[in-house]
Amino acid sequence: MENQPKQSHNISHHLVLSQMIHAYQQSQAIMVAAKLGIADLLKDGPKTCDELAEICQVHPEALYRLLRALASIHLFEEKENRTFSLTSLSHYLRSDVEGSLRSTALMQGDPYHWGAWGDLMEGIIDGKVVFNHKYKMSVYDYHKENKDFGHFFNQTMFTHTQALTKEILNEYDFSPYQTIVDVGGNHGYLLTSILQKYPNTQGILFDQPFVIKTVQNHIENNPVRDRIKVVAGNFFESIPANGEVYILKHIIHGFHDEKAVEILGNCRKAIKDHGVLLIIENVIDAPKSHPVFSRFLDLQMLVMSGGRERTVAEYEQLLEYAGFKTERIIPTQSGTSIIEAKPF
């Protein structure tokens, strides 16, 4: 410490750090605006705070202070007479737009999710999964029990996948294959998009029974419904067999190594000899990876599920344990990578 040069006060660094420290206040304020549906209420034009408070049945002065604070970070625009309108940021808090982040705000601000982050220190001290330790259940069980949270989670994954699907379709050629299995495919957006682009392919959407129940309707209304089979099950027990492409998008990062190898091992048992496995994740050191996003997502895994974001070498090792050889890492513009592996 003695040899360290004396640092002069740098007002802009001080400000940046101060904003980082206070960022949780913004996250909670955005969550409340999302919960009240303010952006949806403003989509047809500006409204006064009193009008909004009347519709939402909340305290007008407190709502004014919330919206004024959010206007200071450009979430809304404050006009004369306590009137507020949407901005290009709050456009994405609307529930009816492509890329809507409303569910993400609701999920991140959910009291259980939020409460687990409040105990981050516990996880850092002993490496325990904070969520399980605090609530005596896993986040996966919480999804099953709390339908609202499960819905926000599924919607968050849907939005994320929707944004990424075009890139995956641009980067990866599915034409050599006929049967594609999306393991933990949830909403089915990626799989139905692949099937739409490749008319000679068949798909299997595989997920947990309570998830499959909620997506069945959506699949039945999709133009590719006749080429898609929806299968409910548990990927720790078995995975539908004889597929040529197995997709695991944002699955492996949710689990610690032992569990991850179990899932990969079941894919190994199921896959055809000439098939490919595609792991789609935010690989920490892959080309074009987004360092802030992947590293904070990694912390999120520490807090919520005991999983982790991994490096290329870590993925290669897991794959090798399970009987796969990594062929290539295909980066996408958004920072998410496709890891292509083949059975050996």
Q: What is the contact surface with ligand SAM in residues (CB under 6 A)?
A: 140, 157, 161, 184-186, 207-208, 211, 234-236, 249-251, 254
Residue 236 or 296 having the CB closest to ligand SAM: 236
Backbone angle region of 119, left / alpha / beta, with phi > 0 → left and psi within -120 to 50 → alpha? alpha
Residue 177 or 235 having the CB closest to ligand SAM: 235
CB 182, min distance to ligand SAM, A: 7
Residue 53 or 116 having the CB closest to ligand SAM: 116
Residue 84 or 152 having the CB closest to ligand SAM: 152
Half-sphere exposure of 276 (CA within 13 A, CB side): 18
Query: Hey, CA dihedral for 196, 244, 257, 140, is it positive or negative?
Result: positive
Q: Given 113, 253, 256, 290, which residue is catalytic?
A: 253
Strands lying side by side in the sheet with 337-343? 228-232, 202-207, 179-183, 245-249, 276-281, 337-343, 324-331
Question: Which of 157, 121, 118, 151 minimizes the C-alpha distance to 135?
Answer: 118
Q: Is 200 exposed, middle or buried (0-12, 13-18, 19+ CB in 10 A)?
A: exposed
Strand partners, 230: 205
CB 307, min distance to ligand SAM, A: 10
Backbone angle region of 124, left / alpha / beta, with phi > 0 → left and psi within -120 to 50 → alpha? alpha
CB 250, min distance to ligand SAM, A: 4
CB 4, min distance to ligand SAM, A: 43
For residue 276, give every residue at least 6 positions away whose Cβ sits within 8 Å of its Cβ, in sequence order, or none: 177, 244, 245, 246, 327, 340, 341, 342
* CB-nearest residue to ligand SAM: 184
Residue 90 or 294 having the CB closest to ligand SAM: 294
Residue 36 or 338 having the CB closest to ligand SAM: 338
CB 215, min distance to ligand SAM, A: 9
Max Cα distance, the chain (Å): 72
Q: Is 303 exposed, middle or buried (0-12, 13-18, 19+ CB in 10 A)?
A: buried
**Total Cβ atoms within 10 A of residue 193:** 18
Is 253 one of the annotated active-site residues of the chain?
yes
Q: How far apart are CA 296 and CA 298, in angstroms?
A: 5
CB 211, min distance to ligand SAM, A: 4
Q: How far apart are CA 297 and CA 280, in angstroms?
A: 14
Q: Where in the sequence numbering do the catalytic residues fall?
A: 253
